[in-house]
Chains A and B, each alone.
Chain A
Amino acid sequence: MSGLSAPGLPEGPIRARARDGVAGAFPPGAGYGHTVFGATPAASPDPLDRARLAPPIFMPERLEKLIELGREPTYGDVVLDTVIGGLSSPLPVYVSALGSTEVAGSDLGLAVVRQAGRLGLPLVVGENVGSVGGYRSSGPAATTLLARIEAYAAELRGPHGGVVVQQSTEDADSEIWNLLYSDPAVRDLLDSGRMAFELKCGQGAKPGLGGMTMLDADGAARVAGRYVVDAAAGGGTALLLRSGTPGTFTEEILRQQIRLMRNNYPRARVWVKLPPVRDVRHAAVAAWSAGADAVTVDGAEAGTGWAPVAFLEHVGLPLGECLARLGSPSSCVLVSGRMWEGARAVKSLALGATAVGLGRAALVAADEAPRDGLVNLVACLAFEMRMLISALGKYAPDRLGPEDVWAATGSGTR
């Protein structure tokens, strides 16, 4: 180096790309396997962060509750039970997809799955878990799709919960849904109405791209015929980038895929996951009218897996904007993206969501306390939700509305 400097330019990343080529498009590869990636708040200003919950003084619904109870209602009187895309949950919260990325495939992923089962929260199993980690194992492998589902089901008590299994374009080659639907091992879940299939049309952290994981040479060789494998994008490590395709969708393709799901799997619920795209409303309406039980929208803040820096920082709509574009949906909208505490969750519910998904927060919580971390995090979340909802003079999540949110831009204010 000559000592050249370039004030005003991010010299470090430029020099990194000059050294590493394509690998410079990703976060430093050394973080893979123990970091969960996602956009920083600074890079992705979300209207939800600026919005505030705005309680009124006059509360006719509190009066209704007062009459029902014969005493002044408190936050403890908020009933959080919610039906989420056909699955019942003790609160408007589900655990969103933990894919095949190394972090989620470890014991940590299993800790999340077990605690979600204990809580009775619906659990989404991400794409590629079956096609990369395998479907069934004769040994104690925790990474297979069936191992995750069985670990979850073993913890279920009471009427709540359910498993939602994603399938992407490449997963279709492995027939993940056909496998499950014809497998006696999951028949109890199907018989009790606790199985759903989620058509994955994209994800928050990298809308327009398919799922990505980093694999070692052996792992990459095993999937090379089915996925794009890119050695140049290893982030300065010996790992290789494995990319799924996002799949091609038109309104008709989406509509017919959903109809085929309903046709082929009449006893499973149908969920559709959308990335934070500009035509999110158009796509959601198409999905609902074709019979989807739920549409999941992953805000640009979402993520767990590996993603290019440009996508983390510059691609996709913030969740608050997605909710604004969806308007006041009459059907089930589920949202995820940087969810972990009550305020963001309750703002989302007020702006039209039926429930919120915990992704990275669930992993961090289980990492903090493998036995009870997620249980404790959810207890705190439920406590905050009850306080916030009661402060708005409401006693159930589905009573919330846009009048409960003040947006700094003025929209949503009444």
Chain B
Amino acid sequence: MGGAAVTTERSGGDQGEARPPGPLREHLTSATTRAALRVRQGIMAAAREYLTARDFAELQAPIIGPVTDPGVRGAKQVDIDYYGQRYKLMSSAILYKQASLLTFDRIFCLAPNIRLEPPETASTGRHLVEFHQIDVEVAGASREDAMELAQALVQHVIRTVITTMAAELEALGRDTGAFTETLAGPFDRITHAEATEGLAALGHGQSRDSEITWAGERVLSLKASRPFLVVDYPKGSRGFYDRESRTRPGVLRNFDLIAPEGYGELCSGSERESEYATLVTRMRETGENPAKYGWYLDLAREGIRPSAGFGLGLERLTRYVTGLAHVWQTTAYPKLAGVISP
């Protein structure tokens, strides 16, 4: 590695005060950036290798469309003028993932996402306005299948990177011993209700009806020594496409994968809703206007396949693997909420 020395900021996911990116030239010529981008490349290659070997078809997700994923906390979508119509840049590929199962039984894509996050997320150390997800969807799969796949994929990627990119990780100061427990077996699971009770016991207020707060997620993540899954989020905290339990109304058949050491959420997934009438009703429950989802609902009315899948944040996974303090360090052109950037 040439150029500037690697930054030796070693506080990783428990970094307290977030540090914004410096000047672009400094960032682009930094040895830290160079090593992080190499690890990121290795992660993408390992994910592709793992999924392709299991007969997943790789697709390129659309960049624009008449609608996009509305299930994102308080973040604004980006509008563009598309021949006089209001179109959106994709905040996630979820609707196209479901549709693509009309072509293949199992698909993945490395998809760019844009979300104009609330300005306060600029200081969480793990939010970017522009980011990528390793998006995976499997027809006929259950939540259990999706969680096992997410776990196996993450373990494969980490195993591959620590084997093949030891020099980069060493340059970044990442102690690969931190992954011993991560690679040791199945990840632990807790329910959303257990997570909120645990947070309450720690004096951290958390509504049982809401998404776990960013601060709460950090508390849980800091306590953990290996990744864990949070399941059964309440309806009202997620988008209309996360399927509601048939036997436990109000509980979603979904999950988040949380990294330890304060790195926080890496991945969200679920069994998907595929029934037309339920989708329309759930759209209303999430305050959406079904009229604008015309193409998607037309497909659903004629039938889309039941499925399960997840989106694994590429930059967040790279941050966890590299042990960097800020998620923006894993991308060449970082964009933080409310910060005007190249």
- B-contacting residues of A (Cβ < 8 Å)? 167, 169-170, 172-173, 175, 177-179, 181-182, 184, 187, 199, 225, 247-249, 252-253, 255-266, 290-291
- Give which listed residue, B77, B118, B210, B286, contacts A262 with CB less than 8 A: B210
B211 touches A263 (CB 8 A): yes
- Chain A proximity mask over B124-159: 1 for CB below 8 Å, otherwise 0: 000000000000000000000000000000000000
- Chain A proximity mask over B268-289: 1 for CB below 8 Å, otherwise 0: 0000000000000100111111
A225 to B83, CA, bound (A): 14
A179 to B117, CA, bound (A): 10
B235 touches A264 (CB 8 A): no
A178/B75 contact (C-beta < 8 A), A248-B284, A259-B237, A263-B236 known: yes
A178/B207 contact (C-beta < 8 A), A172-B287, A253-B284, A263-B237 known: no
User: Does any Cβ of A come within 8 Å of B342's Cβ?
Assistant: no
A260 touches B207 (CB 8 A): no
A167 to B74, CA, bound (A): 14
B286 touches A257 (CB 8 A): yes
B76 touches A178 (CB 8 A): yes
Residues on A with C-beta less than 8 A from B289 are: 169-170, 172-173
**B interface residues, tally (CB under 8 Å):** 30
- Chain A proximity mask over B58-85: 1 for CB below 8 Å, otherwise 0: 0000000000000001111100000001
B287 touches A182 (CB 8 A): no
A173, A182, A257, A261 interface centre (most CB from chain B within 10 Å): A182
Name A171's closest neighbour in chain B (CB-CB): B289
Residues on B with C-beta less than 8 A from A253 are: 281, 284-285
B292 touches A173 (CB 8 A): yes
A265 touches B76 (CB 8 A): no
Give B291 Cβ to nearest chain A Cβ, in Å.
8
B77 touches A178 (CB 8 A): yes
A260/B236 contact (C-beta < 8 A), A181-B118, A266-B213 known: yes
Name A261's closest neighbour in chain B (CB-CB): B287
- Give which listed residue, A182, A248, A259, contacts B118 with CB less than 8 A: A182
Residues on A with C-beta less than 8 A from B292 are: 173
Question: What are 8 A-B pairs at a CB distance below 8 A?
Answer: A172-B287, A178-B76, A182-B74, A255-B236, A257-B286, A259-B237, A260-B285, A262-B210
A152 to B235, CA, bound (A): 36
- Chain A proximity mask over B229-248: 1 for CB below 8 Å, otherwise 0: 00000111100000000000
A182 touches B210 (CB 8 A): no
Residues on B with C-beta less than 8 A from A265 are: 74
- Give which listed residue, B119, B207, B209, B236, contacts A182 with CB less than 8 A: B119
Name A249's closest neighbour in chain B (CB-CB): B284
B235 touches A259 (CB 8 A): yes
The 10 closest A-B pairs by CB, nearest first: A259-B236, A256-B285, A178-B76, A263-B210, A264-B74, A182-B76, A181-B74, A253-B284, A256-B236, A257-B287
- Chain A proximity mask over B176-213: 1 for CB below 8 Å, otherwise 0: 00000000000000000000000000000001011101
A259/B209 contact (C-beta < 8 A), A173-B289, A182-B119 known: yes
A179 touches B76 (CB 8 A): yes
Name B121's closest neighbour in chain A (CB-CB): A182
Residues on A with C-beta less than 8 A from B258 are: none
A325 to B74, CA, bound (A): 35
